[in-house]
Homo-oligomer: A and B are copies of this chain.
């Protein structure tokens, strides 16, 4: 692989100091845009405009796309109108639209003023699609072929117009009304006879999505079908754009981060950890902590209502943490498995009975094992009486049982009700299971110990 970034950074700073811009430029242009962007993030901010101007036009634009929004903003503020226009001209439309979406209003005006009228119109159109829709991540720069074209004409068409297209590897065949009627890969074109017709070679039953389709579902289609790009159509099935695999991977990564943040009771954000201030992290974390803390009041009330029983048998308190934790762990195992199944599309609402049946069996197996081990441990290690051991072990079976059923059912029901199932994960389930397990615990104790 490459020299480590740290070394490169030092070299870059030395060259900057010594004003060896020629060498600096040679050194930069052999790097990958993503690496240059990472270097620029670390470089001194005041030298950024200078460094950026060293890059050739196309590389500059590609690097710009890879940068974090705060750095993009810094650069744009320093650009002359001519420089801004040059960068905008090199951007693909989906990247330009993403940029406009992220910049503060004052810069957006300047960006749109400097974009050419066609680009401006297209950026505005892309920005009109709902935030999480296929429309919002698509690009409109794709290769369009007609059914009656020959392979030779098609390849010529690609060679003539391909330079501005985000991908030339999948071409889209439309009729006179721009309706999508087929797709054909560059591979098929290259491997076919020059005078074969596109309509005879194309795949006529292409998978497509509507502009309003959820972008996460679009990304899952890439996983399922191994696409390099996917056509996006409007309500009249006219082709309006394509989503490419690199954007699909970004959506998957983002969706996954969001999922596990929700599952850990964090309000999702899309900024990297080290770029997020402590106050922002606080704002993302405090709402659920507060809600869950206040919910724990109910658990406290359950304990208070059994206070006299507890006072008579203080030893019961010692097993509260074990029962709560085991219940929480069982519940989060089930909920995590089900949430992942839902987001991979392996599970749906109609599977609820099968899931419940399976979790029922798993909970019996887990409950019996844990409770047997626990019973022996209580008798021989903790040396409590057989009745106490029975109370704790019976509670354990019931807790595991309830935890697994609540844990698997809530995410499925929550998705059915239109909420994100990831919210129904460990912290939330734990709070519910706590209340259930303590109620069971004290009820069994009151009964068996005659409290």
Contact = CB atoms under 8 A, between A and B. Distances in A.
Interface of A: 1-2, 30-32, 34, 155, 158-159, 162-163, 168-169, 186-187, 190-191, 204-205, 207-209, 222-226, 228, 245-246, 248-250, 252-253, 256-257, 259-261, 263-266, 272-274, 278-279, 281-282, 285-286, 288-290, 292-294, 296-297, 299-301, 303-304, 307, 310-311, 314-315, 317-322, 324-326, 328-330, 332-333, 335-341, 344, 346-347, 351, 354-355, 358, 361-362, 365-366, 369-370, 373-374, 377, 381-382, 426-427, 430-431, 434, 438
Contacts of A347: 273-274
A34 B224 CA distance: 7
B344 A322 contact: no
Given A187-B162, A249-B222, A285-B366, A263 B336 contact: yes
B163 A191 contact: yes
Closest 3 CB pairs of A and B: A264-B336, A278-B361, A296-B322
Contact of A273 (B346, B365, B427): B346
Nearest to A330: B289
Contacts of A272: 341, 344, 346
Given A278-B365, A373-B293, A328 B430 contact: yes
Contacts of A365: 278-279, 282, 286
Nearest to A281: B362
B333 A207 contact: no
A228 B252 contact: no
